[in-house]
Amino acid sequence: MKLYLSLILLLPLMGSAVNAVVGRYLPRRASELLACGVIWGAFVSSLFTAFAYRGAMRVDLIDWLSAFDFQAPVSLYLDPLSLVMIVMITFVCALIHTYSVAYMADEEDYVRYFALLNLFVFAMLVLVLAENLPLLYLGWEGVGFCSYGLIGFWYSDEANATAGRKAFIVTRIGDTAFGIAIVWMFKLLGTVSITALNGMGSTLPMAAITGLGLLLLIGAMGKSAQMPLMVWLPDAMAGPTPVSALIHAATMVTAGVYLLARMFPLISPSATAMAAIAVTGGVTAFYAATCAMAQRDLKRALAYSTISQIGYMMLGVGAGAVTAATFHLLVHAFFKALLFLGAGCVIAAMHHEQDMFRMGGLAKRLPLTFWPFLAGSACLAGIPLTGGFFSKDSILAAVWLKGGALYGGLCFLGLLTALLTSIYTFRMIYIVFGGEESPGKHCESAHGGCAVPRLMDGILIPLALLGIFGGLINLPSYIGAGWLGGFFATMPGGQGIEASHSLEISLQVLAGLLALTGLGIAHYRYGGDRRREVIAAGQGDATGFEAFFLNGWRFDDLYRIIFIRPFEALAVFFWQKIDEGMIDDSLDRLASVIGRSGEGLGAWTSGRVSVYIVSFAAGAALLIAYLAWTIS
């Protein structure tokens, strides 16, 4: 077991290091093969780990930090949650690495790309497998750094570098709260080991638990792009599409949810913290769904949809259903990665055109891309019997069962958001793939035609299958025992919800109806001839409500007014008044004072004998007087 876990961690790290150091001197195929091979190797290792799994265990590798009673060795904790996470992460990452080989075929700087991608996988696996919080923080920061490097991959365009920086800085706010929580926990309980912390939660006063829960929530907010720290994710689409698929759909943004699920036994006694988590998730889901309905850029629409779905996961954790949240996390990873990779296929075929309103007629042109994309969209919208349907529904059931006015309101909000999700998903489908050929792009005349490399299309297929049949992981109790629920039951806090069959069925019928209604609305607004009208109407700039949703409820402008402008004003003040005015000028003034006093003294040498005579006599008088004084 130790061997498998070490391999899981070391293979991506080694791939990254080798690529970073000697990747430039290897032939291109060798470097790519190395990068993909290590991830497939990690996947195989994780499969071996899964087969050899016998129960929760802790594996100590080496000592890392140790001073007095602060102990943080490199030790890994394998339990159902981390096991399913590493299998999912390694599989999805391996697929995306292979996809990247074809997507970045024209890119000169592929070595940096693959090195960062491998390093990211390593950091994410460390995050998931960590047994103590400092190690988790190491992985947390590692994925943040790789995300920054990959978002700003094409850094020669300043907008991309700015997007990377924005992501880093916004998540940093969350990281600070997380760091404070770690230190506070160490101060309260004297340990930073997750298993120990989860066991000692009952010894703390409620106020401390609430405080810790809120700090961890802020940390998760930053990493998982929840309100109010969600502003970085839409801009992060400046990176290459496989990066968006990997980091901002499947793995990094789920790290926040993972953290909360991990520390669930510690923070769950506090109803306030749980309510805060649930409210954050619910409101963010609604917010992002409304924004996604007005987007014109394909990737931005998918980014907002990611924010919305992670809101669902947070809602699940806040309602106490870790199993449901993890279920949705897994299925979401599959179909969101599928959607992003499909979008990458479309964008590559349209020669890096990302505006939806300039696309069209692709259902006939790119059938191998269209059908998997449709499957993913069905999962996202929650069409009955897809994986997305079951997972979203289990979350809503858990929220409903929690009871109380707050959770009832959140359940209603979640259902409304499901409707909006369905609408914007099929809006996307109709605008991008529907209709005839868009007049803006003539594929025949373009170089290379509108073709998608075979490899890229091929990767979509396993993801589509996993998305559609993902519901099998955790079927609701009236069909068969949920495998995931049973697996998680051994974990503290992983107990599934016990709902009556009738409640489950009615809720599922309701959700399914909402999804189909959304499909209908979208077809009504965007299908067939109406599509042309919509596209023609959308040629100008957006106004009114649409502009409000298009700009993400204008949160960027709000933050600019509240934080950035005062900060810049403060910086200018410190620069001009204090740095130049006080510090520099004080030195200048000191120098000029000395200069002027020197000039004043220099006026003594007037060249006139009369002045010298008086000075001479004064000096002599002084000397003789001093002599007389000392002698007498």
Partner 1 sequence: MEQIFFYILAAVVVIATLMAITARHTVHAIIYLATSFFALAAIFYLLGAPLVAVFEVIIYAGAIMVLFLFVIMMLDTGKWEKAHGPTFAQWWPALLLGVITFGAMFALFTVKTPESLAGWSYIDARQFSLILFKRYGVAVEVISLQLLFALVGALYLGRRKKQ
Partner 2 sequence: MIVPLTHVLILAGIIFLMGLSCAIAWRSNLIMILIGIEIMLNAAMLAFVGGGAYWKLVDGQVFSLVIMALTSSEVSLALSMVVYLHRRKRTVNSDEFSAMKG
Contacting positions for partner 1 (CB under 8 A): 614, 617-618, 620-621, 624-625, 627-629, 631-632
> Residue 537 binds what, of partner 1, partner 2, none (CB under 5 to 8 Å, by partner type)?
none
* Angle, alpha carbons 191-196-198 (nearest 5°): 115
Question: Binding residue for partner 2 (CB under 8 A) from 66, 576, 597, 606?
Answer: 606
Q: Taking CB under 8 A as the rule, does residue 600 contact partner 2?
A: no
CA distance 202 to 626: 85
What is the C-alpha R_g of the chain? 31
> Residue 609 binds what, of partner 2, partner 1, none (CB under 5 to 8 Å, by partner type)?
partner 2
* Angle, alpha carbons 98-102-103 (nearest 5°): 105
Contact segment (CB under 8 A) with partner 2 among 30-38, 159-167, 213-221, 606-614 equals 606-614
Contact segment (CB under 8 A) with partner 2 among 249-257, 337-345, 406-414, 608-616 equals 608-616
Tokens of residue 397, six digits? 């059931």
Strand, coil or helix: what is 552?
helix
Among 223, 242, 303, which Cα is nearest to 39's?
Answer: 242
Which residue's CB is nearer to partner 1, number 505 or number 625?
625
CA distance 440 to 538: 14
> Residue 625 binds what, of partner 2, partner 1, none (CB under 5 to 8 Å, by partner type)?
partner 1
Question: Binding residue for partner 2 (CB under 8 A) from 617, 622, 623, 627?
Answer: 617
**Are the C-beta atoms of 23 and 108 separated by less than 8 Å?**
no
Contact segment (CB under 8 A) with partner 2 among 144-152, 262-270, 283-291, 604-612 equals 604-612
Q: Taking CB under 8 A as the rule, does residue 609 contact partner 2?
A: yes
Strand, coil or helix: what is 35?
helix
> Residue 605 binds what, of partner 2, partner 1, none (CB under 5 to 8 Å, by partner type)?
partner 2
Which residue's CB is nearer to partner 2, number 159 or number 617?
617
Q: Taking CB under 8 A as the rule, does residue 602 contact partner 2?
A: yes
Contact segment (CB under 8 A) with partner 2 among 80-88, 273-281, 437-445, 598-606 equals 598-606
Count of C-beta atoms within a 10 Å radius of residue 161: 17
CB of 584 to partner 2, least distance (A): 31
> Residue 607 binds what, of partner 2, partner 1, none (CB under 5 to 8 Å, by partner type)?
partner 2
Q: Taking CB under 8 A as the rule, does residue 623 contact partner 2?
A: no
**Are the C-beta atoms of 57 and 69 separated by less than 8 Å?**
no
Contact segment (CB under 8 A) with partner 2 among 167-175, 382-390, 575-583, 612-620 equals 612-620
CB of 606 to partner 1, least distance (A): 15
- CA 393, distance to chain mean position in Å, is 24
CA distance 83 to 69: 30
Contact segment (CB under 8 A) with partner 2 among 1-9, 132-140, 445-453, 601-609 equals 601-609
CB of 617 to partner 1, least distance (A): 5
Among 140, 147, 141, which Cα is nearest to 164's?
Answer: 147
**Are the C-beta atoms of 64 and 116 separated by less than 8 Å?**
no
CA distance 438 to 459: 27
Q: Taking CB under 8 A as the rule, does residue 613 contact partner 2?
A: yes
Question: Which sign does the torsion angle of CA 368, 113, 299, 154 carry?
Answer: negative
Give me the amino acid identity at 428. M
Please give the residue ranges that form the binding site for partner 2 (CB under 8 A): 602, 605-610, 613-614, 617
